[in-house]
Structure 1
Amino acid sequence: MAKGERKRALRGRAGRMKGGRGSGRATAGHARLWGRHAVEAALKNPARIHRKLWATREGIDSLDGELPADFPIEYADVTDLARLVAKDAPHQGLVLECEALENRFLDEFTDADPARPLIVLDQVTDPHNVGAILRSGAAFGAAAIVTQDRHSPPESGVVAKSASGALEVVPWIRVVNLARALEEMAEAGYWRIGLTGHAEATLAEALPAGPVALVLGAEGAGMRQNIEGHCDALAKLPITRAVESLNVSNAAAIALYATTTR
């Protein structure tokens, strides 16, 4: 379908936005995503069930690929879209409501390519950090990220925007008991490395040749003692004394690079 034909096909569903100012949250069981990369990746993900796209005409034109003629879309202006997302969120003329992705299970990935590391996040709750870690995971070929369901952010527009499309690429495994998940990784042959500034060994010294699970804790608090106790080794990144520590998403990116280039 040509671009002009696509516009004609979508124009019949155009209309003004209704409702008050939004928080950026979708209804229960749904996710509301915004921004070109996040929306485009979700539209291309066959695992996604899409409910509705609100967009400016410029936003539609920025997408790579064609939308089906019967895709549920409503044209809106920038001000209307701002009411659907978190305050000051950079929606870039695109807001998509879709079903949340189905939960994945750890045993789907522990038997996968041993060269692809797992990323384990212990109570990392900032959605910007989780999104950035997903993006680094996609860049360096991580098999999945693993979080504790009760202490991690929900799937959201903030996570998706920070991930810049990687939310659709890197599987996100939510578990009830993170310590038990680490035990399952060990049973599957993964060497569990906890990243912490008080470790003696550097990451390069701690890295084995086989499968690796990189474990990172929240900024400030770091890993909980019980989670440290479920690691096979503790390691640090060799940073200078000019800074006390790195942002968890930066640390994850460096650790992933070191793991994939060992």
Structure 2
Amino acid sequence: MNAVIEKVIRLLYTARFSFKSITATLRYRADEELFDYARARWMKTRGVKPLVAVSPDPQPMGSVAANLDYRWQVWWDKPWFWRMDRVDLTNHHVTVNVIDREKSLSYLAESGHVNVWPFQATNERDEALPVDEETEANNAAMAMAFLDPSFLLSTHSLHYVEETRHASRLAYRLWGRLRAGREVPGDALFWESADYYELWVDAGLGILLAYTAYLENRPFAEVKVEELAVDVAIPEEIRSFGPPEGTTVRTWSAEEYWGTTRYDDHN
């Protein structure tokens, strides 16, 4: 058992270094009413021990009654390229975000508008930059918990349950709870608001193949990998994405870019 726990710790810590490129399709589903309740409770009690006590061996009830349903598709080729397409499966709205070397493109399909953001970082033009060096593309990718779950080692207590499979891959299933007084960098709302979390850690890569948040033993939000491939070439049609003809394009200046706060939804 101790050997497995030690391996899981190493996997979580090194997940973001375990591949050069990755493509994945994920499904994000949430119960909006329960999520709103969790949000309200989190805002009221942040930094305080959770109101609901749960047993050391949680017994989850049912599956997420989703009325929020998204498909995420991601492509990451270190250190320069990142793309994420968000598809709202209830209204079919599509948001495309692309980062490639010296610019970032954000395209909201239903609005017919695209924003192009410039970069100032000098290392974005360094051809010899190590693949895991800090770049806009790498930073965007590592903001996703499933690609870089290392923060969980310091913010949550983790308990090994069993070896299992998910998305045709070997995985370790864990329970996790927020440690008292800890704050999560990044998506604090999701990772601090639940009573506990169910996690599936890829046994080879260390990324999260799935994770579910529970409130009073009821699942209210989940992310699950549906398809996954690592160290494969990113298709040119993915790299060369451009908004359809007739789309209004705004190119932001560096001054506007650095003076703007960009909001990213839960990931």
TM-score (norm 2): 0.24
Instruction: Answer 1 or 2: which has greater strand percent.
Output: 2
The structure, 1 or 2, with the larger RCO (C-alpha pairs under 8 Å, 6+ apart) is 2
Instruction: Answer 1 or 2: which has greater helix percent.
Output: 1
TM-score (norm 1): 0.24
For the pair shown, which has the larger CA radius of gyration, 1 or 2? 1
